[in-house]
Amino acid sequence: MVKGQHYKITVHAGLEGLDPITDNVDVEVVFDDGSHYMATFFTLENIQKIMENYQQSGECMKGSYFWATDMILVRRLSRENIAKVVGDLIGKGEFEKAFSLASSTPKE
């Protein structure tokens, strides 16, 4: 977990951890007001691998396209990079465009 000024970030990596080059991972951001946001971080290589798998499975018109809700594309996947991206999106006022609100539980 990474703690920001008014939020904390949880990276939901599996038991094997993150592959910085060919992976994707769900990221949860919880603000001090109790609101929870979610997005998935992908690497370029991961999307390429997924599309190649789709060619074999027949999904997405045999790998002709790829889509994902709340997708953030990064060159390198690491907790440090994720924290920097989240901070940058918040700082630029773009966070709520990139992440979806999962739940809003006001703190009392």
- Does any domain span residue 21? yes
The CA distance from 69 to 80, in Å, is: 23
Interval 53-74 mean pLDDT: 97
Q: Are strands 35-43 and 71-74 parallel, antiparallel or unpaired?
A: parallel
- Does any domain span residue 86? yes
Q: What is the total count of domains within the chain?
A: 1
Buried b (16+ CB within 10 A) or exposed e, 75-99: eebebeebbebbbebbeeeebeebb
The boundaries of the domain holding residue 58 are 2-102
Please give the residue that has the higher pLDDT: either 107 or 72: 72
The CA distance from 41 to 20, in Å, is: 11
Name the pTM for this structure: 0.89
